[in-house]
Amino acid sequence: MFTEMLTNAYLTIGGNFISLLPFYSIISQLLVDEDLKKGLGFLGAGLTGVGMIGASVGQGLVGYGACIAIGRNPETAPKITSTLIITAGFCESGAIYALVIAILLIFVAS
């Protein structure tokens, strides 16, 4: 119940941040002061940390499901573990995309 509530809250808040990201870029283009543009670029890079939260929640849910499945049926542990590793890699790819965007915002956009 708590994990579903947390996931729904994350999806709602994350969707709001993502929908507002184009406005941040428009505001930064309209501003004349270079220091303020650089500061807004760093702020945008910090906001990509929301992607890291999603990856953490996803990996936690995957680990929780794997532990419950292995606890119920221990003889299928090797198959569950291999699926767990593959799925954790998929969850981590979102965090890697967020990291790449943060690096681009810091070094290219500023």
CATH of the domain at 78: 1.20.20.10
pLDDT tens-digit series, residues 29-71: 555 566 777 777 788 888 887 778 878 888 888 889 999 999 9
pLDDT tens-digit series, residues 5-25: 655 555 555 555 555 555 555
Number of domains the chain contains: 2
Its domain, for residue 22, covers 1-32
Q: Are residues 38 and 25 in the same domain?
A: no
- The three-state DSSP-derived secondary structure of 27-52 is HHHHCCCHHHHHHHHHHHHHHCHHHH
Residue of 41, 49, 42, 58 whose CA lies nearest to 17: 49
Q: Are residues 69 and 39 in the same domain?
A: yes
Q: Are residues 52 and 95 in the same domain?
A: yes
Question: Are 10 and 74 in contact, with CB atoms under 8 Å apart?
Answer: no
Say what the pTM is: 0.55
Q: Are residues 101 and 80 in the same domain?
A: yes
H helices of the chain, where? 2-30, 34-47, 49-72, 77-104
